[in-house]
């Protein structure tokens, strides 16, 4: 039985969702941690799981803030006039998809092995390289005028996620 990794994401306000990369999720988010002590299956030492220090009878916690408190970079959606809430929610989900919030939430729901992390980051690098080569080849052939990154990002939010134009090169594989 696997829980949905992004089910708790909708409890956050519709107007703001954190999209900054969290440093390390607190032990309560990790699978296999039990009150800061390393478990039989845990691959991290107990010192890394619990970062609480004791000073003069008081405990000083150095655990990073929970996911909902990190709002340095936020996705904001304003409901337009005569726009249904469902349409605004669809736009919100799309922007979360583009910014990688879902990917981050899924990655930080449980502990990720080093080999899996290396493979995931390699796939992300490959996607970035393929996207850059595809745009460069389109710009060289004159199909797409070269634009700066900010304009390209704003255009991307207007189109459907995952849809590709028929003029894109067939040599790049989807991951």
Look up the pTM and report it.
Answer: 0.30
* Residue 29 covered by a domain: yes
* Residue 58 covered by a domain: yes
User: What is the count of structural domains for the chain?
Assistant: 1
* Residue 78 covered by a domain: yes
**Could you report the per-residue pLDDT of 140-169, keeping only the tens digit for each?**
888 766 556 666 666 655 555 555 555 544
State both tokens at 23. Answer: 């440093």
* Residue 1 covered by a domain: no
Q: How far apart are the C-alpha atoms of 152 and 173, rounded to whole Å?
A: 21
* Residue 175 covered by a domain: no
* Residue 144 covered by a domain: yes
Parent domain of 116: 13-158
**Could you report the per-residue pLDDT of 116-126, keeping only the tens digit for each?**
999 999 999 99
* Residue 4 covered by a domain: no
């Amino acid at each position: 039985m696997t829980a949905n990794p992004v089910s708790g994401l909708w409890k956050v306000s519709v107007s703001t969702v954190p999209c900054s990369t969290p440093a390390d999720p607190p032990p309560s988010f990790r699978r296999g941690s039990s009150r800061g002590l390393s478990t039989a299956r845990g691959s991290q030492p107990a010192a890394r799981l619990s970062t609480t220090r004791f000073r003069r009878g008081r405990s000083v916690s150095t655990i990073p803030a929970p996911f909902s408190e990190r709002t340095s970079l936020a996705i904001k959606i304003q409901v337009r006039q005569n726009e249904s809430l469902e349409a605004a929610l669809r736009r919100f989900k799309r922007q979360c998809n583009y910014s990688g919030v879902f990917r981050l939430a899924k990655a930080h729901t449980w502990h990720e092995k080093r080999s899996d992390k290396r493979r995931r980051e390699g796939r992300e690098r490959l996607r970035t390289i393929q996207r850059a080569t595809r745009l460069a080849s389109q710009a060289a052939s004159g199909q797409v005028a070269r634009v700066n990154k900010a304009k390209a990002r704003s255009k991307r939010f207007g189109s459907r996620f995952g849809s590709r134009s028929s003029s894109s090169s067939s040599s790049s594989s989807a991951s």
